């Protein structure tokens, strides 16, 4: 899952990015409202963490502009303000959730995961594909009765495939959602992680469609 953080408090933004990256997300960070709007419009993000008090363009306007353009990316608003009218204004402009600073990092991660599950059309954090079960909240994977230990990146690649099980997903789509904007390495890195997943889950779980991408099959 690829996230965009738009936050002008650089220490907070960097701290959030490090934590969310450790959770297995690909994270991009910008510190200006105009740049945030540009990046959110141009990038393939699964969720935007958006501060309200920003230079260039405030979070309300960024959110409203995205919604006016038909962009339905989930938006979690952050603000140092406190009060029901501020929250109402944020939600009225199209934000999906609202968190007042200072906040617990654990709560932020829980809100992020809840919004991502909601976007995927499921209230449950557990994704089941045949004998494969992924708990996206606990970050655990089982194949039948066996627990499979995955790295954060392996989990993120598998999550992309599992959320669209049975569908063909291109290498470019996986790169967009699992690696951040700054990644300029070899796109064949996807093949490395798919091979690692096959070693752990079995070769038949992930099917390669030559020249097109990958498909997660139910066993």
CATH number at residue 204: 1.10.10.10
Average pLDDT (154-173) is 89
Q: What was the pLDDT predicted at 100?
A: 85
Burial readout 115-136 (b: 16 or more C-beta within 10 A, e: otherwise): bbbebbeeeeeebebeebbbeb
Q: What is the pLDDT at residue 182?
A: 64
Lowest mean pLDDT across 33-42, 65-74, 95-104, 181-190? 181-190
CA neighbor of 77 nearest in space, from 122, 26, 115: 115
Q: Is the pTM of this model over 0.75?
A: no
Q: Which of 19, 44, 85 is nearest to 170 (CA)?
A: 44
Residues 10 and 90 in one domain: yes
Percent of the chain with pLDDT over 90: 48
Kindly give the pairing relationship between strand 146-148 and strand 140-143.
antiparallel
- How far apart CA 66 and CA 36 sit, in angstroms, is 10
pLDDT tens per residue, range 2-49:
999 999 999 999 999 999 998 889 899 999 999 999 999 987 899 999
- Residues 206, 184 share a domain: yes
Same-domain status, 24 and 83: yes
Provide the pLDDT for residue 23. 85
Q: Is the distance from CB of 79 to CB of 101 less than 8 angstroms?
A: yes
pLDDT of residue 62 exceeding 60, the answer is: yes
Q: What is the CA radius of gyration of the chain?
A: 18
Contact yes or no for 178/26 (Cβ under 8 A): yes
Shared domain for 191 and 131, answered yes or no, is yes
Residue 174 and residue 2: Cα distance in Å, rounded? 10
25 and 105, same domain (yes or no): yes
CATH number of the domain where residue 37 is located: 3.40.50.2300
Identify whether residues 114 and 136 lie together within a single domain: no
Q: Are 40 and 34 in contact (CB under 8 A)?
A: no
The reply to whether 105 and 202 lie within a common domain is: no
For residue 102, the enclosing domain spans 2-120
117 vs 213, more confident: 213
* Positive or negative: CA dihedral 142, 143, 149, 154: negative
Residue carrying structure tokens 């990038």: 43
Q: For residues 87 and 45, state if they share a domain.
A: yes
> Residue 85 — very low, low, confident or very high, per pLDDT cuts 50/70/90?
very low
Same domain, yes or no: 56 and 113: yes
Domain shared by 115 and 130, yes or no: no
Quote the pLDDT of residue 87: 55
Do 7 and 56 contact (CB within 8 A), yes or no? no
Tell me the per-residue pLDDT of 187-203, one tens digit each, with 9 for 90 and over. Answer: 789 999 999 999 999 98
Do 44 and 66 share a domain, yes or no? yes
In this structure, of 23-37, 111-125, 139-153, the range with the lowest mean pLDDT score is: 111-125
Name the nearest CA neighbour of 117 among 44, 20, 46: 46
User: Given pLDDT bands bounded at 50, 70 and 90, which one contains residue 81?
Assistant: low
How many domains does the chain divide into? 2
Q: Locate 149 and state its tokens.
A: 């230990």
134 plus 50 within the same structural domain: no
Query: How much is the mean pLDDT over the chain?
Result: 87
Range name among 65-69, 80-84, 128-132, 164-168 with the lowest pLDDT average: 80-84
């Amino acid at each position: 899952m690829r996230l965009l953080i738009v936050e002008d408090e650089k220490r907070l933004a960097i701290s959030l990015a490090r934590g969310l990256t450790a959770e297995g997300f690909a994270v991009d960070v910008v510190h200006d409202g105009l740049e945030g709007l540009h990046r959110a419009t141009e990038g393939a993000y699964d969720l935007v963490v958006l501060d309200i008090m920003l230079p260039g363009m405030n979070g309300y306007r960024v959110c409203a502009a995205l919604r006016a353009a038909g962009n339905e990316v989930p938006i979690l608003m952050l603000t140092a303000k406190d009060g029901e009218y501020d929250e109402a204004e944020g939600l009225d402009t199209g934000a999906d959730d609202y968190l007042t600073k200072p906040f617990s990092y654990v709560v932020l991660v829980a809100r992020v995961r809840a919004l991502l599950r909601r976007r995927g059309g499921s209230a449950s954090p557990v994704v089941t594909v045949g004998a494969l079960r992924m708990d996206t909240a606990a970050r655990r994977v089982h194949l039948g009765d066996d627990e499979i230990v995955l790295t954060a990146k392996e989990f993120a690649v598998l999550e992309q495939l599992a959320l669209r099980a049975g569908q063909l997903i291109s290498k470019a789509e996986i790169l967009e959602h699992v690696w951040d904007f700054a990644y300029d390495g070899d796109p064949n890195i996807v093949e490395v992680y798919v091979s690692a997943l096959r070693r752990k889950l079995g070769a038949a779980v992930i099917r390669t469609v030559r020249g097109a991408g990958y498909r997660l099959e139910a066993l």
